[in-house]
Structure 1
Amino acid sequence: MTLSVHNSSSELTVTPEMISAAGYEALTFTGRNGDTLPYRRLVSNADLPGQFSLMIFFHGAGSVGEDNFLQMRIPGPPFARYMKNHRLKTVLLFPQCRANCRWVDVPWGDLSHDLPEKPSRHMTLAMELLQSAISEFQPDPGKIYAGGISMGGYGAWDIVSRMPETFSAILAICGGADVKQAPKLRHLRVCDCHGALDTVVPTSRSRDMVKALREAGCGHILYRELPEAAHNAWDPAFADETALDFVFDEPAG
């Protein structure tokens, strides 16, 4: 792997064998039009009583491809560790976007964007994947979450904007949203993390969305602007369990 602004050196230590050993299944979803989407799935603590929670998580531009591995290097270890430590009955979905494609077809450096009229090719597949998983696992309707990093942060905001009634929380790391969608997202628990020194996705993208959500009446926001971080806000965001505690609504401990 060649390091770029979209990667971090910590990813070099993660191998496909580690991801498989952590319980992440390598699967392929086939959409209604026959298009396919590689994804990893973790079904955690299925033996516990009660309903599952469910999260779909979108990777950043440094993890595009079709190997069904690169998208796991950043979130795979912390999510598996968190599910084990907290014994959460959860289904986690990690789709992978192909090279030269995006979860949301908008420029990353712009100071704002409008929600595209139609979802992108890969977002369409991700939405169908989510609906299929909901049908299969019947999760608690109040415990369905979206998350993402950078390009995937845009993806997380995009999917909750298109399916607001489906989600109850979002974890957006150095992404961007259409601020005009804030009124229909005010019911969400929102954890937003962004580096104050980010020159790839302007920090104002998170500041503006958080401001719009607060003005819309959203009362459950955790905004972490990391003063020492540039674009890599994911390493500090996952350095402790604060973000995942907030999203999964777990008591801090």
Structure 2
Amino acid sequence: MSEPSIHTSADELVETEASVLRLGVKLLTFAASDGGTLPYCQYTAGDDLPGDYALLVFLHGAGSVGTDNWKPVRIPGPPLKRYLARHGEKAVVLFPQCAEGCKWVDVPWESSSHSLPDEPSTHMRRLMELFESKLKELPINRSRIYAGGISMGGYGAWDLVSRYPTTFAGILAICGGADTGQAPNLARLPAYIIHGDDDPAVPVCRARDIASALKQVGNTQVVYRELPNAGHNAWTPSFADETALQWLFSQRRNRD
């Protein structure tokens, strides 16, 4: 049986700040220790449900950079909201925003490989501070912390989980790239990896290589979907049904 569609319909398009606000997100700004700021959106689902919140950090691609912090919600916001409501999930989703001219990870996207930078980028460092502040501020279920990202945000999601190798319960990485040398540290991380086989922006080998590297170190929780005849916007078919989101939110981090 196919999964129910979660395509964004015409009346749910989020191309303006007003339309994003209608989703119920809060537009916020985090003050970092370096004196800079990180704009972000926060969406909370299931306030009336018992228990602690799952936490998802979802990172946008290059098309959503700036200071108008509603933009990171445009693509993942509607399918995430619908999924969480349909399945009665209690969750907080953070959508941080990278500034114009900056990256979550300072590496060339056209490269076939990269090494995890010794120091996180400015915006990744600010995101890490935001992330840690939310863990202190909110009642978060520590076995249900997730990372996700598309394109530039896919790189960012891999960078984030690599800097917290024992924290995350799962990653959803769409058309991004990772340091395959980090695979031994991520041997217990469930990973759902999606990439178009005809991606002109980020080589498909980036997804193939990290999927293979994880499997080689004994990670048995890797799902790899290579989309035939698909270009860079692999997020469109990825959010066409609930498969990827259902997988992500079903993961639990074993603390033993």
Shorter-chain TM-score bucket reads: over 0.9
Q: Which runs of 4+ in 1 moved over 3 A?
A: none
2:127 equivalent in structure 1:
126
Unaligned runs of 5+ in 2: 1-9, 252-256
CA distance in 2, matches of 1:216, 1:135: 33
Q: What is the match of residue 46 of structure 2?
A: 45
TM-superposed deviation, 1:186: 1.4
Report what 2:254 is aligned to. none
Provide the rounded CA distance (Å) in 2 between the counterparts of 1:40 and 1:196.
Answer: 32
Q: Distance in 2 between matches of 1:140 and 1:205?
A: 31
Q: Give the Å deviation of 1:18.
A: 2.3
The Cα offsets for residues 102-141 of structure 1, whole Å up to 9 and x where unpaired, read as 0000000000000001000000011111111111113111
Counterpart amino acid of 2:20? I
C-alpha deviations, 1:165-198, integer Å up to 9, x for none?
A: 1111000000000000011111111111100100
Give the equivalent residue in structure 2 for 1:206.
207
Other-structure match for 1:54: 55
Counterpart of 1:237 in structure 2: which amino acid? S
* Structure 2 equivalent of residue 24 of structure 1: 25
Structure 1 unmatched runs, 5+: 1-9
Cα deviation for residue 47 of structure 1 reads: 1.6
- Residue 57 of structure 1 aligns with an amino acid whose one-letter code is F
- Amino acid of the structure 1 residue aligned with 2:182: Q
| Aligned counterparts of 2:13 and 2:110: Cα–Cα separation in 1 | 29
Query: Aligned partners of 2:47 and 2:222: how far apart in 1?
Result: 30
Counterpart position of 2:107: 106
SS at the partner of 1:142? strand
Check whether the contact 1:19–1:77 (CA below 8 A) recurs between aligned residues. Answer: no
- SS of 2:141's partner is coil
Q: What secondary structure does 1:218 align onto?
A: coil
Supply the AA of the counterpart residue of 2:225: R
SS of residue in 2 equivalent to 1:88:
coil
Q: Report the counterpart of residue 240 of structure 1 in structure 2.
A: 241
SS of 2:67 mapped into structure 1: coil
> Which residue identity is paired with 2:128?
M
Conserved? CA contact 1:39–1:68, under 8 Å: yes
**1:57 and 1:94 in contact (8 A); partners too:** yes
Query: 1:91 and 1:71 mapped to 2: Cα distance?
Result: 15
| 205-214 or 221-230, which deviates more | 221-230
Identity fraction in percent: 53
CA contact (8 A) 1:52 1:91 kept: yes
> Is the contact between residue 13 and residue 19 of structure 2 (CA under 8 Å) also seen in structure 1?
no
One-letter identity of the residue aligned with 1:93: L
Residue type at the aligned position of 2:236? D
Distance 2:36 2:45 in 1: 28
Residue 217 of structure 1: CA displacement? Answer: 0.9
Question: What TM-score do the two structures reach when normalised by structure 2?
Answer: 0.91
2:195 is the counterpart of 1:194: yes
Q: What SS is found at the alignment partner of 2:142?
A: coil
Q: Shift of residue 243 of structure 1? A: 0.5
Tell me, yes or no, if structure 1 residue 73 matches structure 2 residue 50: no
3-state SS, counterpart of residue 29 of structure 1: strand
Q: Contact 2:30/2:37 (CA < 8 Å) preserved in 1? A: yes
Query: Secondary structure at the residue paired with 1:108?
Result: coil
| Separation (CA, whole Å) in 1 of partners of 2:35 and 2:169 | 30
1: CA distance between counterparts of 2:230 and 2:41? Answer: 28
Q: Which residue of 2 aligns with 1:84?
A: 85
CA RMSD of aligned residues (A): 1.3
Q: Which amino acid aligns with 1:242?
A: T
Quote the Cα distance in structure 1 between the aligned partners of 2:241 and 2:167: 27
Which deviations, in whole Å up to 9, do the C-alpha atoms of 1:72-94 show, x marking residues without a partner? 11111111111111110001000
Corresponding position of 2:180:
179
**1:159 is aligned to 2:160:** yes
Residue 7 of structure 2 is matched in structure 1 by none
TM-score by length of 1: 0.92
Farther-moved stretch of structure 1 (16-25 vs 72-81): 16-25
